[in-house]
Amino acid sequence: MWFAQTPTPVGLPPGITIEQLTQTPSFTVPQMILLGVYFLICLSLIICVTLQTSKSEGLMQQSMAAPQQPSGKGKMTGDERLANLTTNLAYTFLGLSIIIAYVIKI
């Protein structure tokens, strides 16, 4: 039976050697903390963008609802707070991305 035979190893030509590199990335504790914060910022940004209403939904709700007062004064609405939080998370994400590019070199 030909399929039950053990394979014969093929030899390398003379002068060729095999070198196996074992390189494991080792992160320091501050780098691990920075990556953990970066992961949380990324996750928070994804959630905030997902929770925002689309432009068409917002316009449709405004046209069907009673006229609203301008939101320039007074407390911020939930949508305005979410938009503000999303903007701040986006700035933080970009800043951390630049910092991680310089600090962690893989």
Threshold 0.75, pTM exceeds: no
List the chain domain ranges.
27-53+78-106
* Neighbour tally for 11: CB within 10 Å: 7
Give pairs for 74-82: CB < 8 Å, separation 24+: 79/52, 79/53, 82/48, 82/51, 82/52
pLDDT of 43: 96
- Confidence at 101, pLDDT banded by 50, 70, 90: very high
Question: Tell me: the pLDDT tens digits for 16-64?
Answer: 777 777 777 788 899 999 999 999 999 999 999 999 877 666 555 555 5
